Amino acid sequence: MKLIDKMIQCKINGITVNVEAGSTVLDAAEKAGIHVPTLCHLDLHDVGIVNQNANCRVCMVEDEKRGTLVPSCAEKVTDGMRIQTDSLKAVMARRTSLELLLSNHPQDCLTCVKNLDCELQSLAYEMNIKEIHYHGEKMSHPKDLTSRGITKDTNKCIMCRRCVTMCDEVQTVGVLSPLKRGFDVVVATAFHLDLGQTSCTYCGQCVSVCPTGALAEMNDAPKVWRALNDKQNHVVVQVAPAVRVAVGEMFGYAPGEISTGKVVSGLRRLGFDKVFDTNFAADLTIIEEANELINRIETGGTLPMLTSCCPAWVQFIEAQFPELLSVPSSCKSPQQMMGAVTKSYYADKTGIDPKDIVMVSIMPCVAKKAEAAREEFNRQGLQDVDFVLTTREFSRMLKEAAIDFKKLPEESFDELLGESTGAATIFGTTGGVIEAATRTAYEMVTGKELKDVNFKQMRGLEGIREAQVEVGDVTLRIGIAHELGNARKLLESIRDGKNHFDAIEIMACPGGCIGGGGQPYHHGNTDILKKRQQALYKLDGAMKKRKSHENDMVMKLYEDYLEKPGSPKAHELLHTTYSTKARI
Amino acid sequence: MREKILDRSTLDTALLARLDAYIDSLKGDKQEQLIHVLHKAQELFGHLPHNLQLYVAHALGLSGARVNGVVTFYSFFNEEPVGKYVTSVCMGTACFVKGADKVLERTLNLLGTKKGEMSPDGLFTVKDIRCIGACGLAPVVTINEKVYGKVKVGQIDDILSRYRGEKRAD
């Protein structure tokens, strides 16, 4: 039965609307231009995420013919249906639902991490709630502050289950589930384990969709303030590509605003001694990665080679596919390469004791916090990267320091580790890393100039994409996946021998780092992700140099220090290993 | 402590073999039959410790959280060891109206135990459960498979004493 072809008619508040059969009342209301408040509902069709379980009851409307209330997010339109969204009955039902939710919610908005960015708070304002008429038992659960990336305050949970949908269905990690029943229901890990004891990847997508402050990133700002205020320290910061096209949203700019220069000057005002560009390390990553790929192809090594820039993805493969640990590239991520190079090459060049260097990164990502803490990234007692702040935490620090972002001047990154190419810029979007690698691999293999650097077939927001590129006599077969559920599908097809690729790029978050768990909240608007993505390609297109191997500072690093790609020194500083993690 | 609970190598291998055989015998989508598998596991092991839940999760390709969610949803499943006689007091609406809360309180007092915990003699575990669909007999108490209807607070001592005569099997 092809329901989709049939159009049916209904009336919303007296307005006639024609919708496809199978549409919800909420869809129809939207078509009629009528706003119905929602809370648990989350529909991100563009990136394949739909949470539609009708459990918050905040979107109740009245079905006039039946005289009953229905949840508009889940109720399907029937032919001739008459819906009233603003009848007293409907309004009171919505208000009651919200008041009941609020009656079991800590009223500590002033100090909550989500203050002014909370969907529950917005709804309370929108529905003009001035008093909560229900008083009774409240949830009382301990906070989980044990993991290296995510904090969980269950008392703020409203059981919308967006995080469960995200973790279980979209990412297929399955760390969270509703446990127990009735009033005792709690969204938790298996056996109430600490997040750090589970196979959580710290992708932070649960944080991205949580409507309240129940899930948040670990707040590392206090540690960074302390480091900045210690005179002994030489505090160096790096900024990931996806941050510069999103941070403006925190200060009232439209999505896709490019604020690279303001980010740099803002960081200087916060007191960082040097402001380096993670893009420098992204170019470095490409040189190492392209070299590794060519090596693997020429020597009959393991293929496909998988990119290893995304730490959530690395956590995922270590727990879910331990039999495939030989496929990811041994390259560290740009964040870690930057840390390693700063505490070796930069320290050497400047004569600063690496022990005095504090490396901070500004990342669109929550998993980068956990990545920075990994044992593999400790050399001589020093972590490559000391502290990681998300885009949101960075913005909050600027606000805290009373820095007016809009008035900040445009400034440039510091010398030595500040130059980058267009190839590095697109690291922030799905498809970007592999496109950047292809640009360099092409010239490395053929020795010829690549005239058109735009590999459009690798771009887009499709969950799984494939591309073939002629590189001299070889056809490179390329796979791209974003979101871990898509990565799982791609990996299973490789493991089962159904699909063959030479190189695969995987990013855990929707759209790649532009949709990272540490980015400004998109509140269900995926157009924001598209705008950020367009901004990155715009930045790339505007660059004079668009191939990583044209980065002069990177080339100088090889000349002065690393010798050549894949050298023993490069291996010591820029490569890593993987190990099996428990799957819980 | 938790490490130990999650370690699947401490589970009885002979019982696991029987559980595996049961899972193998299932037709169709095995993930859909999680509840059957959990029934079997509890029948074999007596209760469903965390490591056994993880074992089931891995065997069926489900997440530990999902399995734990199902186990904690149904009062039939026990995460902790239970007494020889599982005594369930129905707290459904009809039973509650007919004084099930007093029946529960009296039962716990007589056995000197708490809800969900094994009695000191190891014989009984008392649980409050949702409606079992025998509302006509409210209030209802079940002890293992045996159903007691229209239970009065004064009868509870007598009912329990029928079971107290026996010693624990192990």
Clarify whether A548 is annotated catalytic. Answer: no
Residue range A565-582, pLDDT digits in tens: 999 999 999 999 999 998
Pick the catalytic residue from A114, A156, A343, A368.
A368
The Cα of B69 is separated from the nearest Cα of chain A by a number of Å equal to: 4
Chain B: residue nearest A192 by CA? B65
Return the closest-CA partner of residue A535 out of A242, A309, A240, A282.
A242
Contact B72 A181 (CB under 8 A): yes
Chain B: residue nearest A194 by CA? B2
Instruction: Give percent of chain A with pLDDT exceeding 70.
Output: 99
Q: Which residues contact A213 (CB under 8 A, 6 or more apart)?
A: A112, A113, A114, A118, A153, A156
Q: Say yes or no to pLDDT of A378 above 70.
A: yes
Mean pLDDT computed over A449-464: 93
Q: Which residues of B touch A190 (CB under 8 A)?
A: 50, 53-54, 57, 63-65, 67-68
Clarify whether A376 is annotated catalytic. Answer: yes
Q: Which residues contact B27 (CB under 8 A, 6 or more apart)?
A: none
Kindly state whether B67 is in contact with chain A, defined as any CB-CB distance less than 8 angstroms: yes
Residue range A102-136, pLDDT digits in tens: 999 999 999 999 999 999 999 999 999 999 999 98
Instruction: Give percent of chain A with pLDDT exceeding 90.
Output: 91
Determine which of B2, B60, B63, B115 to mutate to test the interface with A (most A C-beta atoms within 10 Å): B63
Kindly state whether A171 is in contact with chain B, defined as any CB-CB distance less than 8 angstroms: no
Query: Which overall architecture, per CATH, does domain A3-102 show?
Result: Roll (3.10)
Mean pLDDT computed over A304-309: 94
Contact B2 A173 (CB under 8 A): no
pLDDT of residue B75: 85
Mean pLDDT value across chain A:
95
Confidence of residue B169 (pLDDT cuts 50, 70, 90): very low
Helix (H, G, I), strand (E, B) or coil at A423: helix
User: What is the DSSP code (8-state) at residue A408?
Assistant: P
Pick the catalytic residue from A20, A99, A376, A462.
A376
For B68, the closest of A177, A197, A583 (CB atoms) is: A177
Kindly state whether B73 is in contact with chain A, defined as any CB-CB distance less than 8 angstroms: yes
Residue range A485-535, pLDDT digits in tens: 999 999 999 999 898 999 999 999 999 999 999 999 998 888 999 999 999
Clarify whether A513 is annotated catalytic. Answer: yes
Q: Say yes or no to pLDDT of A3 above 70.
A: no
Q: Which of residues 177-196 of A touch B (CB under 8 A)?
A: 177-181, 188-191, 193
Residue range B103-142, pLDDT digits in tens: 999 999 999 999 988 898 889 999 999 899 999 999 999 9
Kindly state whether A159 is in contact with chain B, defined as any CB-CB distance less than 8 angstroms: no
Pick the catalytic residue from A393, A513, A531, A550.
A513
Clarify whether A329 is annotated catalytic. Answer: yes
Handedness of CA A558, A561, A564, A565 (dihedral sign): negative
Contact A173 B64 (CB under 8 A): no
Contact B50 A191 (CB under 8 A): yes
Q: Give the Cα separation of A17 and A11 in Å (integer).
A: 6
Q: Are A337 and A281 in contact (CB under 8 A)?
A: yes
Pick the catalytic residue from A217, A292, A483, A550.
A292
Residues of chain B with CATH 3.40.30.10: 85-164
DSSP string across A82-140: EEESSSHHHHHHHHHHHHHHHHTS---GGG-TTTTS-HHHHHHHHTT------------
Pairing of strands A474-482, A464-471: antiparallel
Kindly state whether A490 is in contact with chain B, defined as any CB-CB distance less than 8 angstroms: no
pLDDT of residue A246: 98
Determine which of B72, B77, B115 to mutate to test the interface with A (most A C-beta atoms within 10 Å): B72
Q: Which residues of A touch B50 (CB under 8 A)?
A: 190-191
pLDDT of residue A474: 86
Q: Say yes or no to pLDDT of A1 above 80.
A: no
Element (H, E) at A563: none
Contact B50 A173 (CB under 8 A): no
The Cα of A173 is separated from the nearest Cα of chain B by a number of Å equal to: 8
Confidence of residue A208 (pLDDT cuts 50, 70, 90): very high
Contact B50 A174 (CB under 8 A): no
Residue range A157-193, pLDDT digits in tens: 999 999 999 999 999 999 999 999 988 999 999 999 9
For B35, how many CA atoms within 13 A lie in the half-sphere containing its CB? 7
Chain A: residue nearest B57 by CA? A584
Pick the catalytic residue from A249, A288, A289, A318.
A289
Residue range B147-161, pLDDT digits in tens: 999 999 999 999 999
The residue ranking higher by pLDDT, B122 or A16, is: A16
Q: Are A428 and A364 in contact (CB under 8 A)?
A: yes
Confidence of residue A85 (pLDDT cuts 50, 70, 90): very high
Confidence of residue B1 (pLDDT cuts 50, 70, 90): very low
Q: Are B19 and B48 in contact (CB under 8 A)?
A: no
Residue range B6-54, pLDDT digits in tens: 888 889 999 999 999 999 999 999 999 999 999 999 999 999 999 999 9
pLDDT of residue A319: 96
Return the closest-CA partner of residue A238 out of A266, A282, A276, A279.
A276
Residue range A268-298, pLDDT digits in tens: 999 999 999 999 999 999 999 999 999 999 9
Q: Are A310 and A507 in contact (CB under 8 A)?
A: yes
Q: A221-574: what fold?
A: Rossmann fold (3.40.50)
Q: Which residues of A touch B54 (CB under 8 A)?
A: 190, 584
| A384 alpha-carbon distance from chain centroid | 22
Query: Which overall architecture, per CATH, does domain B85-164 show?
Result: 3-Layer(aba) Sandwich (3.40)
Confidence of residue A473 (pLDDT cuts 50, 70, 90): confident
Neighbours of A287 (CB within 10 A): 26
Confidence of residue A4 (pLDDT cuts 50, 70, 90): low
Helix (H, G, I), strand (E, B) or coil at A15: strand
Kindly state whether B31 is in contact with chain A, defined as any CB-CB distance less than 8 angstroms: no
Contact B66 A178 (CB under 8 A): no
Pairing of strands A274-277, A234-239: parallel
Neighbours of A561 (CB within 10 A): 17
Kindly state whether A584 is in contact with chain B, defined as any CB-CB distance less than 8 angstroms: yes
Contact B64 A176 (CB under 8 A): no
Give CB contacts under 8 A, 24+ apart, made by A446-453.
A446/A471, A446/A472, A450/A547, A453/A422, A453/A423, A453/A546, A453/A547
Kindly state whether B155 is in contact with chain A, defined as any CB-CB distance less than 8 angstroms: no
The Cα of B51 is separated from the nearest Cα of chain A by a number of Å equal to: 10
pLDDT of residue A5: 65
Contact B64 A174 (CB under 8 A): yes
Residue range A424-448, pLDDT digits in tens: 999 999 999 999 999 999 999 999 9
CATH class of the structural domain A108-217: alpha beta
Pick the catalytic residue from A329, A361, A395, A548.
A329
Kindly state whether B150 is in contact with chain A, defined as any CB-CB distance less than 8 angstroms: no
